[in-house]
Amino acid sequence: MSYQDIQFSAAELNRYQRHLSIPGFGLEGQQKLKAAKVLVIGAGGLGSPLLMYLAAAGVGHIGIVDFDVVEDSNLQRQVLFGEADLGILKVEAAKRRLEALNPHIRITLHPEKLSAQNALNILMDYDLVADGSDNFPTRYLVNDACVLLGKTNVFAAVSRFEGQVSVFNYPDHQGNFGPNYRDLHPVPPPPGLVPDCAEGGVLGVLPGIIGSLQALEVVKVITGLGEVLHDRIFIFDGLHFETRTFKIRKRADNPLNGEKPTISQLIDYEEFCRVQSPGKPVRELSIAEFLQWQASGETFQLIDVREPEEYAAANIGGELMPLSTILKSEQQISREVKVVVHCKSGSRSAKAIRELETAFGFENLYNLKGGLDAYLVSVFIAR
């Protein structure tokens, strides 16, 4: 069905009247929004304002990819949720909130972790993608899937007081696609160099600002209005209230669509991001293996390298040894039994293990893959 064939009820026309009265937007712009299918990656800090504004604007079909559950620590910035949602899958809580906000749209849930195995099948049903993920493997995965499928990727990221927005793989009037994420970041930074939100923190209002700008770019891409950030990246410094915009140029050595492409299918993005760091990879323990160790009575020491306030909010009984002081805790770490180290997502614990192995030669350390987040999701699903 063409967007020109889209019809509105009297209730919808009344709801969207402020859009309809904008010169150059009008009924045609609203028809394009209702006809659009947008996939949002992540229902967290960025996903919350992004989803609410897309739903309120009248985007007809919104897909949400997220496998996490709502936690207390989310409520400082993830305004899509409230205390009544604690312990509930984010996608389920988001669907309930968005349908209450706008009953005239369709919500499709993908309560799973995006991977090289499922990404193409999920993305292919949508017109464009809005990436609000918070880790490098997912960002590269979303980027590569969008390029391979010819989808536009509206990207955003936040950390501490700073946020970024850009539009990748946007086609011009001749059908030529613009720069993508690999033109901006050919390879990921070494693990630990760029802290995640759990380690580095983020000011609660910042995702609201950046997620709203991301929603703005999605609306502009759909309606064709204004100048899209398709070959630029916008950076907002909330601490000093400064903005900068940089030009992004296509790289000849881009492995996806450069002069000599080498990637024609999705790869192992966890491994891709891991091999960019010097030294051997850390030994990992899956959640399933960890649960099996617990069930079988395996002897091991469990260490939690998060901060005290995180530990107080939720923990699984590990000994608290924050990453910032881990090297001072060497005498407390066993060399006689297996030692499982965990954090929220697995990045800080991997860094802790590398520091301990380098400084003290430990050979019995295991990183709990996916950290506390993956553990809680596994337990939740099992129930």
| Catalytic residue annotation | 197, 343
Instruction: Provide the token pair at 15.
Output: 């709801």
> Are the C-beta atoms of residues 114 and 152 closer than 8 Å to each other?
no
Mind giving me the DSSP string for 241-292? TEEEEEE----TT-TTTSSS----S---HHHHHHTTSSSPPPPEE-HHHHHH
Q: Give the tokens for residue 172.
A: 């011009």
For residue 266 the two structure tokens come to: 């999705």
Residue type, 205: V
Strand-pair category, 106-110 with 61-65? parallel
Length of the chain: 383
Q: What is the DSSP string of 313-363?
A: H---SPEE--GGGGGGGGGGS-SSSEEEEE-SSSHHHHHHHHHHHHHH---
Say how far apart CA 210 and CA 227 lie, in whole Å: 18
Burial 196-205 (b: 16+ CB within 10 A, else e): bbbbeebbee
